[in-house]
């Protein structure tokens, strides 16, 4: 369950989705009537860029108690990325065609939010990945909810990669690419490449070669 009462909420909406604008206004009024401070942002990607720049300046805005995302799985991933360094509980309301992550149907948003405000909702932790690599002599780092992909460039042939689990060698791959995904990511690129679907709560990593 959530750690405490919900005093503030940020609604991130993908206004390109049909019905998103009207639903965002309805959500804002519904939450405000119940004493929740609400901020609505109409563009998930623009918000993520803005927040990343603010964090780089050391001026990160205060975190809300709850993040409500209106859209599909792409909007959820954008919201997760925006708060990658300090995760916030997310309620995803599905306005897209695929809703593996945004699992609350649009017609059920009142019941879902009422459960959250009543302290009855259960938080489902999701595994994330962290990757480090070097590019042009610079060490880089990134976090991901879905997956990381090692892939060949358009000018080269198949890549060769070795998979290790700590100090233990597992196998070698010769393929167009290799996808390392979380259970959440098992329904994304890995699935398209022939990988299995994992139950989201599993503590497991999925490694899927692309066109081996």
Which residue numbers are catalytic?
73
Instruction: Enter the tokens of residue 83.
Output: 């708060």
**CB proximity list for 55: less than 8 A, separation 6 or greater:** 85
Helices and strands (H, E) in the chain, number of each type: 5, 12
Instruction: Enter the tokens of residue 165.
Output: 């689990």
**CB proximity list for 172: less than 8 A, separation 6 or greater:** 160, 161, 162, 163
**Number of C-beta neighbours around residue 20 at 10 A:** 20
Q: Are 180 and 147 in contact (CB under 8 A)?
A: yes
What three-state secondary structure class fits 208? strand
């Amino acid at each position: 369950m959530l750690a405490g009462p919900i005093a503030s909420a940020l609604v991130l909406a993908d206004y390109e989705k049909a019905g998103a604008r009207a639903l965002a206004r309805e959500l804002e009024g519904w939450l405000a009537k119940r004493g929740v401070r609400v901020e609505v942002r109409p563009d998930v990607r623009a918000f993520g860029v803005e927040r990343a720049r603010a964090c780089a300046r050391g001026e990160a805005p205060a975190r809300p108690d709850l993040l409500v995302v209106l859209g599909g799985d792409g909007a959820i991933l954008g919201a997760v990325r925006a708060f990658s360094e300090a995760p916030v509980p997310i309620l995803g309301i599905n306005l897209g065609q695929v809703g593996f992550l945004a699992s609350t149907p649009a017609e059920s948003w009142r019941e879902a939010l009422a459960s959250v405000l009543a302290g009855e909702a259960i938080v489902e932790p999701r595994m994330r990945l962290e990757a480090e690599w070097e590019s042009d002599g610079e060490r880089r780092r990134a976090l991901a909810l879905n997956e990381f992909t090692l892939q060949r460039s358009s000018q080269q042939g198949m890549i060769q990669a070795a998979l290790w689990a700590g100090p233990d060698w597992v196998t070698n791959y010769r393929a167009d690419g290799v996808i390392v995904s979380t259970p959440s990511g098992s329904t994304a690129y890995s699935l398209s490449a022939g990988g299995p679907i994992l139950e989201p709560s599993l503590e497991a990593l999925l490694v899927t070669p692309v066109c081996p």
